């Protein structure tokens, strides 16, 4: 097993991966870092856990939209994914706050 150090939001993280997958992990980490920085730019620094959660939800939303586009090539989702709005950022922030509160209680 290989270990790759990636940088997310200016901080290094060591990530384990299968041998030969190091470059793929770096590429994926760079994509994730872009989403984390986008969220941080929209909502400010609210802690790494919340930033990572919100960025993960944005990626999950993109994946969901891509799957819809593949499943229904003529659908509106296939034409263009919906851009993130302030309402989405607020909703993600509220979800993140609830998850963080639950995590603190554990």
What is the b/e burial string over 60-78, where b = at least 16 CB atoms within 10 angstroms of the residue's CB?
A: eeeeeeeeebeeeeeeebe
Enumerate residue ranges in the chain where pLDDT < 50.
78, 106
pTM of the predicted model, to two decimals? 0.65
Q: Which pLDDT score is estimated for 106?
A: 45
What backbone torsions phi and psi does residue 8 show, to the nearest 5 degrees?
A: -120, 120
Q: Which pLDDT score is estimated for 89?
A: 58
């Amino acid at each position: 097993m290989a270990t790759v150090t990636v940088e997310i939001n200016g901080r290094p993280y060591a990530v384990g991966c299968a041998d030969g997958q190091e470059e793929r992990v770096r590429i994926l980490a760079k994509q994730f870092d872009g989403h984390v920085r986008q969220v941080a730019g929209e909502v400010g620094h609210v802690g790494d856990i919340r930033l990572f959660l919100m960025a993960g939800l944005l990626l999950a939303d993109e994946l969901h939209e891509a799957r819809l586009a593949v499943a229904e090539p003529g659908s509106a989702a296939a034409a263009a994914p919906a851009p993130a709005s302030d309402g989405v950022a607020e909703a993600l922030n509220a979800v993140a706050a609830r998850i963080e509160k639950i995590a603190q209680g554990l």
